[in-house]
Amino acid sequence: MVSITFIQPDGAAQTVQATEGDSVMQTALNNNIAGIFAECGGAMMCATCHCYVEDDWSAQTGPKSDGEDDMLECAETEVTDASRLTCQIKVTPDLDGLVIRLPAELS
């Protein structure tokens, strides 16, 4: 199993076990991670699974998928260079220890 830590905007962290081949989004949903809504179910048709990948992990998560930047423009939260869609990050053994930060909800 691969461990992934999700950090909420308030700093609360939750480390969960992920199954190789699943997406980070599916892992979040399977573990009831707050802040990952995944309204489109992983079809890259919304940005409700927006996250920030820690800089140390950007190489391991790979480049953004074609169209991912376009979809991130629809995110309701701040988009940065670290922004990714969790539905586009596949769990591999190289991601053991991955740290994902979740954006604060806009009020």
- CATH of residue 12's domain is 3.10.20.30
Q: Which of 57, 55, 51, 52 is closest to 98 using CA atoms?
A: 57
The neighbouring-strand residues paired with 18 are 2
Count of CB atoms situated within 10 Å of the CB of 20: 12
Report if residue 107 sits inside a domain: no
Tens digits of pLDDT across the chain (107 residues): 899 999 999 999 999 999 999 999 999 999 999 999 999 999 999 999 999 999 999 999 999 999 999 999 999 999 999 999 999 999 999 999 999 999 997 54
CA 54 to chain centre: 10
Range of the domain at 15: 2-101
The tokens describing 52, both together, are: 């920030």
> Residues 62, 28: contact at Cβ < 8 Å?
no
Residue 105: predicted pLDDT: 78
Total domain count, the chain: 1
Report if residue 23 sits inside a domain: yes
Count of CB atoms situated within 10 Å of the CB of 43: 9
pTM, two decimal places: 0.94
